[in-house]
Amino acid sequence: MQVVRDPGQMRRPARGSAVTIGAYDGVHLGHRHVLGILREMAAARDAESVVVTFDRHPAVVVRPDSAPPQLTDLDQKLELLASTGVDTTLVVTFDTARANETAEDFVTEVLVEALGAKAVVVGRDFHFGHGRKGNVALLAEMGADHGFDTVGIALEADAGGEPVSSTRIRGLVANGDVAGAARLLGRWHQVRGVVERGDGRGGTELGFPTANVALPPGLALPAEGVYACLYERPDGTRCRAAVSFGRRPTFYEDASPLLEAYLLDFEGDLYGEPARVSFVERLRGDERFDSVEALVAQMHADVARTAAVLQAAGV
């Protein structure tokens, strides 16, 4: 997949393009449904399939106090989009100037001039441009003038008839239902960070040395608790991991949440390495124990259950 970081750098496709526009946070099963339709529309028109997305969620600029946490950072989003088979992703910088741009100007600059759009497919409730005045009706109207078709489609639904959306998945993750989130994502929810030094208690006092993963701000994080996870190293090696995400209430009164991963299949130094942690199943909530001995006994049980859960999951 070709990635272009600015509309001004885009080589206008000689065959024209079929385009979809959106934040595409999570690249979940609903998104993949739209992208499947996009590829079909591109093939029918002998055109390139193009995803137009943004370098950050527009809400971060438009309403920063209520911007949603993100299911994927930009790098992961681009990796997931590449896995769908689309030809190109155009990443538009979303800043104050872009937020104040009219919907009409966005269509002219991006869809018509940069992409030579032959077709545009978006969700029926899609809105864009200053004041969210752009919608499917505007796209259809401008498409009639500029030679592109517009298709607005309903949100994909799960087996229970509920729509698959990034908002719904964020709620599941926040409640600790990572298994439910995985069913809508089509994969396990993953966070990425760098291993840093902690207080050293895990290995010396508890007998469970952990990788403390420092996470960047703005990510969708699960409810505090203990999880069966997969931990991926920079070389692609995957290890089974019992992961605690919480405030360590047995030792601290008011600590910030910390992600600590105990790797079942690895011994060695991970400091400074990038880490990818995928959440498979929540085992329990965050708890305060009356003694270190009680905590250690529970950690042994957590590790045993982690192994069983991941074996059942086939990993």
Catalytic residues: 260
> CA 211 to CA 285: how far, in whole Å?
20
With both helix axes pointing from N to C terminus, report the angle between 166-174 and 178-185 in degrees, rounded to the nearest 10: 160
Neighbours of 104 (CB within 10 A): 15
Matching residue, tokens 């309903």: 154
Return the structure tokens found at 209.
């040395």
Phi-psi category of residue 26: left, alpha or beta, with phi > 0 → left and psi -120 to 50 → alpha: left
Neighbours of 25 (CB within 10 A): 23
Question: Do the Cβ atoms of 212 and 260 come closer than 8 Å?
Answer: yes
Query: What phi and psi, each to the nearest 5 degrees, are found at residue 64?
Result: -60, -30
